[in-house]
Amino acid sequence: MEGFSVCYTGGVAIEKELNALLMKDNAQNATMLQRIGGRLPANFPQHVLEDLKVRTLMTLRRNQKSDYFVSEENVARMKSKRVLPGLGKTFKEDFPYLCISFYSRVTAMEACYGDPDEEEPNLAYSLCQSLLKMTHENRLRSAQNVMLVGGSTMIPGFRKRLIQEVKAMISERNEFEPLRSILQWLKVPEMIFAPNICSWVGASVLMSLGQEADRFLLTREQYMSEGQ
């Protein structure tokens, strides 16, 4: 068996971007919070970011991205369209006026598809690199068995956008020309496991590949001090 895991650019990158966007969305709430003895935190707690990530974010299709960001006027409308995400009782007590804009809901996921030429994390680029490292005999089989695991992959539109980005990456970048022969065979099968155990399935596969798992792991303390 031959396989590679992609770079760690999923949940942490999304939550970091979401945190920055939420700070901007709720900047006007700072004065209101001070009146009730509260204040905006330097960083939103991880559990709040995870809750918002899964329940409010969405992934635009590749062609939708250009349509939504076609003009500054359209972007301004997206930023002004804000909703109260309906946080649970515990979160409401900590952040009673927390809101999130439509702009933030669709922009946070773009953290997965940065510019590789600027050394920004890009999930599609990492996946293509992994396929390129494989032998010719194994590329086709691997391209037909891409496994998506973890909470971030359950965000609406994630699977479709990833496939679009990978195909564009192979078609447009010369470094991935050797992969063009398998382009038409690329697919991400529907996950047969229940969503709540997908992370464990991914961890099991990762460990079976015999790689150093430590570089993919982050303790809660590391996340709170460095991850944001």
What pLDDT score does 137 carry?
83
Q: Is residue 2 part of a domain?
A: no
pLDDT in tens, 149-193: 777 888 889 989 999 999 999 999 999 999 999 888 888 877 777
Please list, in sequence order, all residues whose beta carbon lies within 8 angstroms of the beta carbon of residue 213, skipping any fewer than 6 positions away. 203, 206, 207
Answer whether 121's CB lies under 8 Å from 7's CB. Answer: yes
Q: Is the dihedral of CA 153, 109, 66, 178 positive or negative?
A: negative
Q: Is residue 95 part of a domain?
A: yes
What pLDDT score does 228 carry?
47
User: Which residues in the chain show pLDDT less than 70?
Assistant: 1-10, 29-41, 85-96, 195-196, 199, 202, 206, 209-218, 223, 227-228
Q: How many domains does the chain divide into?
A: 2
What pLDDT score does 36 carry?
46
CATH code where residue 211 lies: 3.30.420
Q: Is residue 175 part of a domain?
A: yes
Say what the pTM is: 0.76
3-state secondary structure 166-192: HHHHHHHCHHHHHHHHHHHHCCCCCCC
Q: Which domain holds residue 69?
A: 13-110
What pLDDT score does 179 carry?
93
Answer whether 5's CB lies under 8 Å from 206's CB. Answer: yes
Q: Are residues 58 and 121 in the same domain?
A: no
Q: Is residue 155 part of a domain?
A: yes
Q: Are residues 120 and 217 in the same domain?
A: yes
Q: Are residues 152 and 211 in the same domain?
A: yes
**Domain termination residue (choose one: 95, 110, 125):** 110
What pLDDT score does 119 carry?
79
Q: Is residue 144 part of a domain?
A: yes
Main-chain phi, psi angles of 71, to 5 degrees:
-150, 160
Q: Are residues 70 and 146 in the same domain?
A: no
Helical pair 158-172 and 123-133, crossing angle rounded to 10 deg: 60
**Domain termination residue (choose one: 82, 110, 138):** 110
